[in-house]
Amino acid sequence: MKNFKKLTSFFLALCISVSAFAVSAFAVEPKDALSLSGKLSASNKTLTVQFAAPDKAHKVQGLQFTIEMPKGFTLEKVTTPLKNFQVDTNLNKVLLHSTDLKAIQEVATLNNGKYNILTLQVAIASTVAGGTYKATLKVEDITNNDKSFTKECPATTTGFTYEKAVPKTSIAKATVSGIKSKTYNGKAQAQSFTVKLGSKTLKYKTDYTVAYSSNKYPGVATVKITGVGRYTGTVSKTFVIYPKKQAVSSSTKFSSSKKIKAQWTKDTTATGYQVQYSTSSKFSKATTKWITSNKTTSYSFSAKVKKTYYVRVRSYKKVGKTYYYGAYSTGKKVTAKPATVKLSSSTKSTSKKTLTVKWTKVANASGYQVIYSTKSNFKGAKTVNVSYKSSSKKLTKLSSKKKYYVKVRAYTKISGKKYYGSYSSKKTVKVK
């Protein structure tokens, strides 16, 4: 019954004007007697015909419907809900013979004078282009009992549309340019790239969409490009996210055990680290040490006293059998001797013939050496050694009202031998 309703709407649209006297002959006005509905497409190939039956005043006992489709459209199958109709398909024409008009009239009464008389399954030739086409509909009294019926509803031509599916093109062989490696920054990484298929540049969202995976942490990220609209298929590209640049800690220093202890920032996204050290600032002939745990953030290596070393560190990420390295830290310069001592501003003469020297302690010092003289070039200077526990020394038996020059240096004692750091800047003090 539902299919009959759709077909009736289709026939009604096709029927053109009829004479005014025919109004009383139909359950609805004769201009609505036939209609065609439906929009053909690659996925929908069905049209529906509706018919407004003549009322009982007509003496019609049998009806014939003819539907002629335009070139390229073929009626493959015709269905009708009325059992007393005989359907005959011949090329683009359909003939329906009714032997029981009473059933039609009863259905029409229940549906405001209309019912679906038939449903058309249409085959469409591949050469047919999308657009608007016209079909011709005609209903006739084949019993010749009521000639007025045919006059009241002459042949009707109506339009219908066909939306032809546009063939989709695969982007599987598209070229993707502009993909670049990234450095870890704690955020999901995206790319700015160009997709071309042949000479045509495709548009984002119109022609393709983008999806990322594994694009936050160091390793290999994937960008998947999927065709949309007129395009189909996918193309995927990968890019590397490298670990962030490392930083050597300022606490990287020489120790009293003839070693330099390198320290750096922990990188939880890395697999491990590479430590390099060399006596060359360009790291020629550098020694490389692998640290396989990202929890280890220091490494000590033997150093020759009085030699200057350069230290740098980088993080690495291992994916499968491949290593991806972050940038090396800036090289840290470390001399294998104690750090330079800084004299305190409180180095003064507070009592007659005395001078109190004060300084800031340095790490890994075994002791300090204080040197003082009445000459700025320290000619004839005297020295005194002080324990590493102290940060001051009171000098006595000095000449009253004389200027004295003083400076301090730290030393490290290794195997009984002292290794001195650089002197502090000198300080001038007038003794009381």
Domain-embedded: residue 319: yes
Q: What is the pTM of this model?
A: 0.60
Residue 116: beta bridge partners?
A: 50
Q: Which residue has the higher pLDDT, 387 or 13?
A: 387
Q: What is the pLDDT of residue 12?
A: 33
**What values do phi and psi take at 11, rounded to 5?**
-65, -35
Domain-embedded: residue 102: yes
> What is the Cα–Cα distance from 137 to 142, expressed in whole angstroms?
16
Domain-embedded: residue 248: no
* Residue 169 confidence (pLDDT) above 90: yes
CATH number of the domain within which 60 lies: 2.60.40.740
Phi-psi region of 16 (alpha: psi -120 to 50; beta: other; left: phi over 0): beta
**Contact by Cβ (8 Å): 252, 263:** yes
Model confidence at 63, pLDDT cuts 50, 70, 90, reads confident
Are residues 278 and 349 part of one domain?
no
State which of 128, 163, 198 marks the end of a domain. 163
Q: What is the pLDDT of residue 364?
A: 75
Least confident window among 57-61, 359-363, 428-432: 57-61
Q: What is the pLDDT of residue 48?
A: 86
Residue 45's closest CA among 113, 110, 125? 125
Are residues 140 and 14 part of one domain?
yes
Model confidence at 256, pLDDT cuts 50, 70, 90, reads low
Task: For residue 417, count other CB atoms closer than 10 A to its CB.
Answer: 9
Residue 18 token pair: 């009829």
> What is the Cα–Cα distance from 430 to 40, expressed in whole angstroms?
109
State which of 145, 163, 181 marks the end of a domain. 163
From the number of C-beta atoms within 10 Å of its C-beta (0-12, 13-18, 19+), residue 141 rates as buried
Domain-embedded: residue 247: no
Are residues 366 and 388 part of one domain?
yes
Domain-embedded: residue 352: yes
* Residue 6 confidence (pLDDT) above 80: no
Model confidence at 25, pLDDT cuts 50, 70, 90, reads very low
How many structural domains is the chain composed of?
4
Please name the residue that has the structure tokens 């053109």: 16
Residue 246's closest CA among 269, 278, 213, 280? 269
> What is the Cα–Cα distance from 64 to 275, expressed in whole angstroms?
95
* Residue 423 confidence (pLDDT) above 80: yes
Domain-embedded: residue 311: yes
* Residue 21 confidence (pLDDT) above 60: no
Are residues 293 and 351 part of one domain?
no
Average pLDDT over residues 42-46: 90
| b (16+ CB within 10 A) / e for 256-291 | beebbbbbbeebebbbbbbbbbbeeeebeebeeeeb
pLDDT tens-place string over residues 80-135 = 776 666 666 664 566 666 555 555 555 544 445 455 567 888 899 988 999 999 99
* Residue 11 confidence (pLDDT) above 70: no
Model confidence at 155, pLDDT cuts 50, 70, 90, reads confident
Are residues 150 and 9 part of one domain?
yes
Are residues 90 and 11 part of one domain?
yes
* Residue 7 confidence (pLDDT) above 50: no
Are residues 150 and 13 part of one domain?
yes
**Contact by Cβ (8 Å): 272, 314:** no
Model confidence at 326, pLDDT cuts 50, 70, 90, reads very high
Domain that holds residue 182: 169-242
Give the residue ranges of DSSP H helices in 21-123: 101-110
**Contact by Cβ (8 Å): 278, 286:** yes
Please name the residue that has the structure tokens 């005609």: 138
Average pLDDT over residues 270-290: 97
- The percentage of residues in the chain with a pLDDT greater than 70, rounded to a whole number, is 78
Are residues 116 and 58 part of one domain?
yes
Query: How do beta strands 40-41 and 156-163 pair?
Result: parallel
Are residues 19 and 142 part of one domain?
yes
Model confidence at 19, pLDDT cuts 50, 70, 90, reads very low
State which of 213, 242, 271 marks the end of a domain. 242
**Contact by Cβ (8 Å): 410, 365:** yes
Are residues 24 and 112 part of one domain?
yes
Are residues 426 and 293 part of one domain?
no
Average pLDDT over residues 24-42: 65
Average per-residue pLDDT for the chain:
84
pLDDT tens-place string over residues 182-239 = 999 999 999 999 999 999 999 999 999 999 999 999 999 999 999 999 999 999 999 9
**Contact by Cβ (8 Å): 327, 310:** no
Beta strands in 388-430 (DSSP E): 392-395, 403-414, 417-420, 427-430
* Residue 3 confidence (pLDDT) above 50: no
Domain-embedded: residue 317: yes
Q: What is the pLDDT of residue 4?
A: 34
Residue 149's H or E segment, with its range, is helix 147-152
Are residues 380 and 424 part of one domain?
yes
**Contact by Cβ (8 Å): 54, 109:** no
Beta strands in 265-307 (DSSP E): 272-278, 287-291, 298-302
Q: What is the pLDDT of residue 37?
A: 86
CATH number of the domain within which 295 lies: 2.60.40.10
**Contact by Cβ (8 Å): 264, 273:** yes
pLDDT tens-place string over residues 333-387 = 998 888 889 999 999 999 999 999 999 998 778 899 999 999 999 999 999 999 9
